[in-house]
Structure 1
């Protein structure tokens, strides 16, 4: 019960409980000036206090949190922009206002769009996530990275699923390039837009990201 002091009497949330897993010098610093340090102490964040408190100051901790927040915000914004643009392009293909040749739907033009303007950008984002995610000095990034991977991979898979369904709507056979994804991660739990929206909301809530800023 040592690490739970005040948790019952003060009716604290579980995320407010101060962990006791830090080095002694960290505990002393916290007890000496508790208001100086942000209390991001949910159970899944405690590794931060154990391993990252040597950042040394609240300003550096705030900087690390801010950098991670921006990392997530930019990737969410970019991949959702790809998703919106892809759906608009698909709608135009169905309506016959784009990807036409000789008055007919042109599969080559459509596939060129899918690769250059959708999938290549997703591949870039996935590469950035792998590289930058390893160096993030912020606390809950392991769980939040899983959210981000789910979002990006779902959008990637939709570029294949929705392309195949486009061919079906037009009475055509799916293009071979839509059947075997190349150099792109498409493993995800769901590609439904409702589930995609929920995952975005969870990640934004965790990172305290204003969803209104995702369109910027």
Structure 2
């Protein structure tokens, strides 16, 4: 049932972001979003004609926020290591939803099942991050911070992997937290079979 007030476009986008981050691009429907904010699907389609339009808007806003943070970090830090450290912190703390993950990382998993406008946003997100890292990696090579005996694209790929890992880690921790209390007991419990010590057998 619709609420007795107008629902803003930003509320719709925020609801879609929460669903995207926790369910994946293909794990929710337009009706799920409309139910989340309390409007009819017809009203939602007035703002976003297709689900692809809505997801693309989420990804576009996520990219804009990332670009804004990268621009700020440029003046906050002088070394490549410190800049990537600050970006790692941004990615690992930017989500407020338990079990959530960065929208762009979710979207890249579903990339080839998404409409063209969503694919374009995902690709642009990664190009922005990769370009930012490449610029400062090249600078770090000239100052001696990064070695020059390895290809710069390899160094940038490793930095990208670190940043993506920063987005994945909080989600893994959320899912593993119920097991932490029993961790030592599980770690010491034999799995399937035991072997005599010193035999070298698996």
| Structure with greater Cα Rg | 1
Please indicate, yes or no, whether the TM-score normalized by the shorter chain is above 0.5. no
TM-score by length of 1: 0.33
